[in-house]
Amino acid sequence: MPLISLVRHGQASFGAQDYDALSDLGREQATAAGRELARRGLRDPHLMTGTLTRQRDTAQLLAEAAGFTDPVREDPRWNEYDHLALLARYTDPVPTGQADSRAVQGLLDRALEAWMEDTEETGPAGWATFENGITAALTELTTTLGQGRDAIVVTSGGVLAALCGALLSLPPAGVVALNRVTVNAAVTTLVVGSSGTSLLTFNDHAHFTSDRRRLLTYR
């Protein structure tokens, strides 16, 4: 049965002028994830990524480290939601001097849950559009995989939480809980079987243990 390895991008540049760029640590994480996926012996993996810079760069570094030579295909449906837009829409601004990652994460948790519960927003900016785009991208990907081929998708924490939430029929609070603990460059694995696609593992980051624990980050 085909396996799909969903990889969260490496650490972005929180607090920098260009958040979408990988940090130096994020580049190390991407390389480590590539080595881990090479060790797993995936079968002729189909490589996919979103179009955000942090996703594309993670995919490229991962592929180089793993020795994957197939071109990396891009699909914007694997892109992260606009967290700044959500914060502006559903929360008050972070007080001056308190804009550290933990404070922002707390506000984002509330904004994300409010977004999912906002039944009046049914257009392109709505949760349903975001979630439906992700599940459609997954369905399309599974149709391209034969019995002897696996896939790797580099995406983001919110996408992973939304997709796993849909597969497990989780309520909004459950999706928020998954989003909060996604590790940079961790691997979530899906298995494609005759009865559909199922979650096999979530947020596997064993490649960041022991002497590589310094690579473990959540934001």
* CATH assignment of the domain containing 169: 3.40.50.1240
User: Which pLDDT tens digit goes with each residue over 39-91?
Assistant: 999 999 999 999 999 999 999 999 999 999 999 999 999 999 998 899 999 99
Domain count within the chain? 1
Residue 114 lies inside a defined structural domain of this protein: no
Does 3 have pLDDT greater than 60?
yes
Long-range contacts formed by 157-163: CB under 8 A, 24+ apart:
157/8, 157/80, 157/182, 158/80, 158/81, 158/83, 158/112, 159/50, 159/78, 159/79, 159/80, 159/134, 160/6, 160/8, 160/188, 160/202, 160/203, 162/130, 162/131, 162/134, 163/6, 163/134, 163/135, 163/138
Residue 103 lies inside a defined structural domain of this protein: no
Residue 164 lies inside a defined structural domain of this protein: yes
Residue 93 lies inside a defined structural domain of this protein: no
Whole-number percent of the chain with pLDDT over 90: 81
Q: For the chain, how many residues are written?
A: 219
Its domain, for residue 65, covers 3-81+133-215
pTM: 0.93
Residue 97 lies inside a defined structural domain of this protein: no
Q: How far is residue 86's CA from residue 175's CA, in Å, rounded to a whole number? A: 15
Burial of 69 (0-12, 13-18, 19+ CB in 10 A): exposed
